[in-house]
Structure 1
Amino acid sequence: MYLYAFVSFGLSLIMLLFGVFSLKKVQHQSQVLFATIPLILCIQQFCEGVLWLALPLSNLHLLQKSTVFFHLNFTQVVWPLYIPIAILFLEKHKIRKIILGILVGIGLVVSCFLAHCLCNYSVHAKIYESTILYIQPYPEQFRLLGSILYGTATIVPCFISHIKQMRVLGLMIFFSYCIGMFFYQNYLISVWCFFTIPISYSVWLILKNAALMNAKDAAVLPITI
C-alpha cells in the first residue's frame, strides 16, 4: 500500500508544480479560477494518498471516513460546478456566455444532487485488486442521467469556449471518462487520477498560449499618449 500512496503523493507533487506554473501565466483576474485547477487536483490526489495509508489500519476509521468524504467532495461536488464557472470567466462572447451560464446551471444541479447523496448515503472505500474501490449506494435510477449531466457540465464548456486550445482540455477529460468507464468502470474515481497530469498540462498550455497571444497583441498596438 505504501507504493500506491507514494505514487499518489508523487502525482500530487507534479500537479502542484503545474499549478504554480499555471498561476505564473495568469495575466488577468478572470484567469485565476482556471489556473487553480491543477492545485485542486493536487489536493484531491493528496487525499487519495492519505487514504491509501489509512485504509489498511482499522483504528483510523475516522480518518478514513473524513478522507473519503473530502476526496469525493472534490470529484463529485466541486468539478461539475467549478469547470463551467472557470471557463465562463474566460469567455468574451455574449452568446457563448449565455450557453456557458446554462451549463453552470446544469453543473449546480448535479453538484447539489451529489452533495445530497454524499451526505445522506453511507459512502465508504476499500482496497480491492490493488485499487481503491469507492462504494456509493446512490439511487440507481439517477445514475445514467447523473452521469450524462456530469459529463455535460464538465466537457461541453470546453467546446463552447472561444479559446481554441480549450478543445484539447475537453478531449482530455472526455477520453479519460471513456477509458475509465469502459475498462475500469467500478474504479473510475480512483483510476481517473492518472489522467490528471495531461489535464493539468492542458491547463498550463492554454494559459501559456493566452499569454503569448496577449504579448503579441500588445506588441502591435500603436503607441499613444
Structure 2
Amino acid sequence: MCFSAGASFAAGAVISATGVATMRKARRPDQRLFAAIPFIFGLQQLSEGVVWVTLRSGEQAALQDAAAHIYLWAALVIWPVVVPLAMFLMERVRERKLILTGLLAGGVTVAAYYAYRLILFSVTPQIEGTHIIYRNDFPGGFGDIIFVLYLAATILSLFISSVSRMWVLAGLVLVSFIIAVFMFTQVLTSVWCFFAAIGSVVIYWILSAPDKRPVTAAAG
C-alpha cells in the first residue's frame, strides 16, 4: 500500500486472509498460482508496512533495507513472471497460449533486468507526504522498453486469457494503472500495487465461476 503504516498492515492482513480463501477456492492444479496472487500481494503490503515503521522511527536500517527489497522484488521481479505464467498455466486455447508464451518471455526479461539492478545497486526508501518513494542509483538504458514489457506481462496477459471473468480483473488493473500514472506519477510503484491489490476479491470471484471453456481447444 502507500498511505501509512497502519493502512499497509491492515491491507496486508486482509489481503493475505483473502489469499488463503482464494487458494482454497482453486479447484485444479493449474489454478493454484493464480489463486496464490492475493496472498503474495498481502505479504508485499506487510513488507511496506515495515518500511513505514522503520522510516518513521529512524532505526533498524537493516530491517528497513530488507523490507524495501522484499517489496521491490515482488513489484519488479515476481509480478512480471507470476502474472503471465498464471495465465499460461490456466489457458486452454492454443493461439492464446502461444501469445502468453511470448508475454511470459518478456516478463522473464523484465525480472532479470530488475533483479540485476536490485542485487548490484542501492535503493533508499523515503517518505514524501503520504507516500513512499523508492529512490535508487540504477544505471539507465532500455528503461522505456522494459516498462512496455512490464505492462505487457502484467496487464496484456490478463486480457489475452480466455478464463471466464478474467476481463474484469484486466480492466480493473488497467484503470488502476492509469489512475496511478496521472495522479501519483512519482510514487507509481507503491500506489499501483495498492490499487492492484483490490483485485484480490475479483480473483476469488473469478475462481468461483464455472469453467465453460472448451477442452478441445487445448494446446498439446
Normalising by structure 1, report the TM-score: 0.88
Mapping of residues 45-64 of structure 1, within 5 Å: 45-64=45-64
In structure 1, give the amino acid aligned to 2:123.
Answer: V
Note the alpha carbon deviations across 1:128-173, whole angstroms, 9 max, x for none.
1121111133334432222111000111111111124111111111
The structure carrying a bigger helix percent of its residues is 1
Residue 178, structure 1, aligned to residue 186, structure 2: no
Q: Measure the CA separation in 1 of the matches of 2:65 and 2:101.
A: 34
> Residue 81 of structure 1 corresponds to which residue in structure 2?
81
Cα shift at 1:22: 1.0
Alignment size in residue pairs: 211
- 1:151 partner letter: L
Question: What residue ranges of structure 1 are gaps of 5+ in the alignment?
Answer: 215-225
Alignment of 1:1-225 (within 5 A): 4-209=4-209, 212-213=210-211
Q: How many Å apart are 1:83 and its aligned residue?
A: 0.3
What's the RMSD between the two structures over aligned residues?
A: 1.7
The AA in structure 1 aligned to 2:85 is: I
Change in 2 beyond 3 A, CA 1:186/1:119: same
Q: Indicate the SS of the match to 1:92.
A: coil
What SS class does the counterpart of residue 56 from structure 1 fall into?
helix
Q: Which runs of 4+ in 1 moved over 6 A?
A: none
Q: How far is 1:36 from its partner?
A: 0.2
The answer to whether the Cα contact below 8 Å between 1:51 and 1:64 also exists between their aligned partners in 2 is: yes
Q: Say which is worse superposed, 7-16 or 141-150, in terms of deviation.
A: 141-150
What amino acid is the match of 1:50? V
Q: Is the 8 A contact 2:41 2:197 kept in 1?
A: no
Q: Unaligned stretches of 5+ in structure 2? A: 213-220
Q: Contact (CA 8 Å) 1:181, 1:188: kept in 2 or not?
A: yes
Q: Which amino acid aligns with 1:11?
A: A
CA distance in 2, matches of 1:67, 1:179: 26
Q: Deviations over 1:69-103 (max 9, x none)?
A: 11100000000001000111101111211111111
Q: Does the aligned pair in 2 maintain the 1:14–1:197 contact within 8 Å? A: no
Amino acid at match of 2:13: L
Secondary structure at 2:198's aligned position in 1? helix
Q: Distance in 1 between matches of 2:4 and 2:60?
A: 18
Bigger mean CA offset, 71-80 vs 152-161: 152-161
Quote the sequence identity (%): 33
Decide whether the 8 Å contact of 2:164 with 2:211 is kept in 1. no
Return the alpha-carbon distance in structure 1 between the equivalents of residues 193 and 9 of structure 2: 11
CA-CA distance at 1:62 after TM superposition: 0.7
Residue 170 of structure 1: SS of its match in structure 2? Answer: helix
Structure of larger gyration radius: 1
Distance 2:181 2:146 in 1: 14
